Each structure stands twice: as structure tokens, then as C-alpha cells.
Structure 1
Amino acid sequence: MMDLQTLVLNADYRPLSYSPLSLWGWRDALVALFSERVTLVATYDLEARSPSRSMPIPSVVALKNYISPVRHPAFTRYNIYLRDRFTCQYCSQYLPSGGLTFDHVMPRSRGGLTTWENVVAACSPCNLRKANRTPPEAGMPLIQRPRRPTRLELHRRQPDFDHHRYHHTWIDYLYWDSELDH
């Protein structure tokens, strides 16, 4: 029970974020319920008890006030890999379970910044081979030019949700943007 998570939905009943998935610890969700910041949507089959009360543990809550999503996702290593489809941008090797690094297209030692537009996913051998050079200098053309993605682009590149990893009460809220079967 200690590690139970609560899926947090925006007021429109969509997850606040998919990458990472918007989750709170169940205790934080209970505090938000008591302070009337969220609506209880679904519960686990467990209860939290105090000497005077018992309350079902929330598995899904929705914010009462809508939060406008940011247009662009956070600049994180995972989001870089997701943008680049877990593929080395120099040799096209697909490495979904590790082995990727990130590379500065214009090396930092030469003034390159750590930004969406200057960082790409790279396998270790390509990163070492390119070293402190630009792609043209190293004879290593990029597969695609790096750019800042939108949240929707990254969401569409997410690996398919493995419904076995999530509580059954979450499933209806994780597939809002999926195409329906005919």
C-alpha cells in the first residue's frame, strides 16, 4: 500500500501529462481531496484508516480547476530520446532499452548550447567518433535536424501503454487520444 500511486487528471479528465505520467502518492491525493482541490474519480479496493475515519484510497482524481498545458515539454534526456525515437541520429541504430547518450551538434567547447535545437540522441560509438567536431567536420550527417517538439508530438511517440502496468481504473483515461477500433 505504501507505493500506491494516484493518476491525476486535469479538469477535462485528461492526464496532466503523459511523459512523465501525472501521478501523485496516495497520501497527497487524500490531502488534495480533503482540501477540496480535486474530485474523486475512482478508488482502489483499500482504505486508509485513522482512529475516527476510514476513506477509500484514490486511484484517480481530477483537478477542480483546469490547468492550461504548456505547449512545449520539459527538456529532459528521456524527451530527447523520445523525440528522436530512441534512435542514434548519426547511424540510425534503434536502442530503446539503453545505450543512448546525447550529443551536442555544435560542441559545447565551441559555444554550443544545451538546447532542443543543439542536442540529439546518439549511440556511444557515434558520440565518441564525432568527438569535438560538428557533423560535417566528422563526416557524420544527421538523420534529422534537432528541434523543439510539441507535447502532442512526444505523446504520439510514446511507446504503447502496457495496460498490465496500470491499475484498471486508469485505463479509460490513458487512451483518450487513441484511435477507436472500427
Structure 2
Amino acid sequence: MEHRSLVLNQNYEPLNVCSVKRAFLLVFNGKAEVLEIGTEPIYGVGDVEYETPSVIRLQYFVRRPVPQRRLSRREVFARDAHTCQYCGRHSNLTLDHVIPRHKGGPHTWDNLTTACQRCNHQKGGRTPQEAKMPLITQPRRPSVNSAELFIMYLDNYSEWEPFLTGWVKKTNREMQYAS
């Protein structure tokens, strides 16, 4: 496994995960400072040994857009906890357009929900009101905490945890590991 480095913004907000080589170059060029050292060294020319940066902080503030979750079948199922939003089943899941496409329903987060095959077939080309099939929860665009993107690295890089605490809620981490 290639070693990775956590990149923090100037205000300590988690920004990215990059290769140790990239992190080393950012530090070497004066664009970042090392906050945590990794366990394995980097070897240069002539067996010169350098400390591995595990967590670095940029010397300047980087503005970036708020991350958005990509609309996909997998993400809709995850948002709905792999549960049919009509009957509560967890098997034979499909995507359902709440307002059917032929009635002008868009292919958006707010109009897509998880349905088992049986409920999707029963609902057919009708709205939930027309089919008398109320939704368990209304579909919505999921919010994104950008720090959640770094959770998967915590098992291998425990030294990152102090820099993610506060950005990642403990409950979110436990839910991520459970799924």
C-alpha cells in the first residue's frame, strides 16, 4: 500500500489526501508545514533518509466549492439505508421516480427513492398519492461533510484522528464502519 498524507487547509480544515511524495514536495517548496511525522522514512539519492510527512498544513488558504454527492443508484440506496421507502423491505431493491418521468418528474435527488420490485411494480406510473402508497421518508439531497471522505483512512492512519475530530462526528464514523 502506498503511504498517504492528510492535507489540511490553513485553518486546519481537512482538504485532501495525497501521496507522501506530493506532501514532501509541498513541504520542501515551502508551501506547507509538517504537523505529524509518519512511521516510515523516505530515501533520497545516496540513501539520504527523510522523515515522512503524515499530516501537513498549507501555508495559504485554499477556497474550494462545497463537495456534492454524485447522483447514482448506489448513493440513493445508501441515503435510504437500503430500505424500500414504501414497505420497509431490504431485498430486490430498485430506483423509483416519485413523480414518474412520463408525468414530467425529473431525475433528481428529490424525485428518486428506493423501492422494492413489488412496490415499484404496484405503484406503476402513478404518484404515491394516486397509488395510495405513502413514502416512509421524503427523498432529499444528502448533505455532505467533506471530512467524511477521510474516515476510511483512520484505521491505517490513527495519527490523523486529532485533525479530523470536530470535522467528523464520532457517530458518522461508527455508521461508516458499520456499513
TM superposition score category, shorter chain reference = 0.5 to 0.7
Q: Distance in 2 between matches of 1:31 and 1:146?
A: 44
Is residue 114 of structure 2 the alignment partner of residue 108 of structure 1? no
Conserved? CA contact 1:87–1:93, under 8 Å: yes
**How far apart in 1 are the matches of 2:67 and 2:111?**
16
Q: What does residue range 38-53 of structure 1 map to in structure 2 within 5 Å? A: 38-51=32-45, 53=48
Matched, 1:174 2:168: no
SS of residue paired to 2:133: coil
Please show how residues 121-136 of structure 1 align to structure 2 within 5 Å.
121-123=114-116, 126-127=119-120, 129-136=122-129
Larger Rg: 2
Taking the aligned partners of 1:145 and 1:173, their CA distance within structure 2 comes to 35
Match of residue 176 from structure 2? none
SS of residue paired to 2:55: strand
Note the 1:1-182 alignment, pairs <5 A.
2-16=1-15, 22-51=16-45, 53-68=48-63, 70-71=65-66, 73-77=68-72, 80-93=76-89, 101-123=94-116, 126-127=119-120, 129-151=122-144, 165-177=155-167, 178=169
Paired residues, number: 165
Judged with a 3 Å threshold, the aligned counterparts in structure 2 of structure 1 residues 74 and 45 are, in CA distance, closer, same or farther, namely same
Question: Normalising to structure 1: TM-score of the pair?
Answer: 0.65
Identity %: 32
Give the direction of change, closer, same or farther, for the CA distance of 1:120–1:40 in structure 2 (3 Å limit). farther
- CA-based RMSD of the aligned residues comes to 3.6
Question: Does the CA contact (< 8 Å) of 1:75 and 1:116 recur in 2?
Answer: no
Higher fraction of helix: 2
Asked if the contact 1:72/1:148 (under 8 Å) is kept, the reply is: no
Name the CA distance, whole Å, in 2 between partners of 1:175 and 1:122: 36
Instruction: Sort the Cα spacing of 1:33 and 1:146 in 2 relative to 1 into closer, same or farther, 3 A.
Output: same
AA at the equivalent of 1:7: L
Distance 1:25 1:163, change over 3 A: closer
| Change in CA separation of 1:55 and 1:148 when aligned onto 2, cut-off 3 Å | same
3-state SS in 1 of match to 2:51: strand
TM-score by length of 2: 0.66
Residues 145 and 44 of structure 1: CA distance in aligned 2, closer, same or farther (over 3 Å): same
Structure 2 residue ranges without an equivalent (≥5)? 171-179
Residue 86 (structure 1) shift: 4.6
Q: CA 1:37 to 1:141, structure 2 compared with 1: closer, same or farther past 3 Å?
A: farther
Structure 1 unaligned segments of length 5 or more: list them: 17-21
